[in-house]
A and B are shown apart, each in its own frame.
Chain A
Amino acid sequence: MKLFRAFSSQASGRHRVLARPPQRVFLVQMISRRYCLAAVTLFAVQSMVALAGALDLVIPDLPSPIPFEFGRAIHLGFAVLWPLIGTMGMVYYFTAAELNREVFSPRLARWQFGIVLTFALSVYLSLSLRIGNGREYLEGMPLLYLGIGLALLLAAYNLVRTLWADKHHITPAAAIMTVGVLFLLILLLPNALHYNNPTLDEAAKFWVVHLWEEMAFELTTAGFIATFFIVSGLAVREQVEKWLYLEAGLAVSGGLYSTGHHYFWIGVPSLWLLLGTLISLLEVVPVAMLVQMTYVGFKSSKLSSKTGIKSKREKLTLWLILSSLIYHVLGASVLGLMITIPWVNLYVHGTYTTSAHAHLALFGSMGFLVLAACYYILSWGSEPTAKGYKAGVLAVLLLNIGLIGMGTALLVAGFVQTYLWRILGQDFMQVRFHLTPYLLARVLAGGVFALGDFLLIWQIYTAWWRTRKQNSPSSGH
């Protein structure tokens, strides 16, 4: 709250940029670097796994030590777990920054890291050995998800105790990040069970596939963006916090009931057609508010260049945040809404159109934000060189070009598939041969994406290496 008072006393003009308060570094912030380092490393591996899987679809009889059905499972496992690990680090780091104090137990955060990494790696290892549970995005054995649930339980406990320690000074950003972590836990637990009922099984799966992405992570990333702008001194607290609880409330209620658009055809009553469609419209509101909040920050940061804040590190973080917002609007909201309309969904569901949406919404919206947070955290205490900054921007551009390329190729493949298979009724396999050029284009775009990935990760590793001593728990902070 000291931070709040410091900001409040200086805030007089609209979007006024404040002088930065000196930032303390807390033990948990140093520990959070481990989470971020693990997350970006898994993200680098993800690109290679994804590229191998995409090649397998276009090169017949491609030799591989892991068969396609388990390779894809690893790809989807990575898609869920690297952002989760990055989010854990992000929430710890920005909660301490936001509250300007240590979390309840840094030791618990350290244990939690060991647990989540062990169980996440066990998911990949077991899938490589062809041991899995065959539920899309949750292909690992249920016991391993219980382990990840344990890590989330520790995180939730640690964060709640942190807020509780000074409950009269809970800030909106810290609160919604904690609620986001609580939701991650609550929504995962039903997925550690086995269901005989296939409809219930599908529904429970979307509690992670949809609700982690479009609700829980939405809360944690909104808290991150708000805190980032505030603690970086790029925007005024009141401006950023003004609608944060409303945005979070809409993200929760909208996110929950818009799960209905995934329930349409899984064996539930037709009520969900109406509920899923109407509430999906509501989901656009928090996205618009997130865009507005970022716009406020951007406007302030633009002003700040005149008054002295010229941090390339923060600019690169902003590049990543801006990238995410593009996909929030285009990939998640516009494309998402288009394919949610029931009579459109009836035809495009179960085609590559869904895959295009998944890439743009899952990595585009959320992945970029987690990368932004990880870069910011791992580069704390350093500034990129002019060359390093340019390389970072180039990496972000390559990631964007690659992602848009993959999304477009899959979208066109989906439309062709819809027309030939669903509308004209051609044989599925015959249609699949027509899709090869688009799947090949996806491989090429995936290659560009992987290049951007490696270049960015290299920049992040360099920043981490440069700052590792000053941010090490033994450095005496």
Chain B
Amino acid sequence: MHTLKLRSFLILSACSLVLFAAVTLLSARLPVPISQQAAAGKRVWQKHNCVSCHTLFGNGGYVGEDLTNIVAKVNPPQLVQYLIQPPVMRPNRYRHHPALKRTEAENVVSYLEYVHTIPTLGWPPQPQKAGDEP
């Protein structure tokens, strides 16, 4: 009886895993392929551990703002400038945002532009404005 139960458990586990992996791979295909510059930007993002302070798709740290749609709020040249000559991070008085080289900054911003094109099913939600229909 135990052997039968064990076999059933193993078959169920193996089938579930294979199906799950296949559905995940199919689901993760994106409408627009990533450019070389954006891919290089992703490596810069990872190298500097940006995810410790910022979120992408809401995943990451909460010290800084979510950057999934940052390019819709701040234009890319301004972002590049921010990263090359970073300001002091509030509420600190001396500590600056980590600085990047120009190429690195341009690549990261290209990556953030790419992330902005990924459809996220309506996340993040748009805040309510006074006078909006309920």
Contact = CB atoms under 8 A, between A and B. Distances in A.
Same complex: yes
B122 A245 contact: no
Interface in B18-53: 20, 24-25, 27-28, 30, 34, 39, 42-43, 45-53
Contacts of A268: 24, 27-28
A178 B8 CA distance: 15
Interface of A: 57, 60-61, 67-70, 72-73, 132-136, 139, 168, 170-172, 175-176, 179, 183, 186, 194, 196-203, 205, 245, 248-249, 252-253, 256-257, 259, 263-273, 346-347, 349-352, 354-355, 417, 421-425, 428-429, 432-433
Contacts of A202: 56-57, 59
Given A60-B93, A133-B46, A256-B17, A199 B51 contact: no
B7 to A, nearest CB: 10
A252 to B, nearest CB: 5
A417 B66 CA distance: 13
Given A179-B13, A197-B28, A268-B28, A136 B42 contact: no
Pick the most buried of A133, A134, A183, A354: most chain B CB atoms within 10 A of its CB: A134
Interface of B: 2-3, 5-6, 8-10, 12-13, 16-17, 20, 24-25, 27-28, 30, 34, 39, 42-43, 45-53, 55-66, 90-95, 98, 114-115, 118-129
Contacts, number: 180
Given A203-B24, A256-B17, A423-B128, A245 B8 contact: yes
A70 B63 contact: no
Contacts of A257: 16, 20
Contacts of B46: 132-135
A171 B122 CA distance: 48
A252 B12 contact: yes
A77 to B, nearest CB: 11
B55 A267 contact: no
A263 B120 CA distance: 10
Given A197-B28, A252-B13, A267-B57, A134 B45 contact: yes
Contacts of B120: 265-267
Given A248-B9, A253-B13, 19 more contacts: A69-B98, A132-B49, A134-B51, A179-B10, A183-B17, A196-B34, A203-B24, A257-B16, A257-B20, A264-B121, A265-B121, A266-B120, A272-B27, A346-B122, A349-B58, A350-B59, A425-B126, A428-B64, A432-B63
A57 B63 contact: yes
A323 B111 CA distance: 43
17 contacts: A60-B93, A67-B98, A72-B52, A134-B49, A134-B50, A136-B51, A172-B5, A194-B43, A197-B34, A198-B34, A245-B8, A248-B9, A249-B9, A265-B123, A266-B59, A268-B24, A350-B58
Nearest to A348: B58
A172 B4 CA distance: 11
A433 B63 CA distance: 11
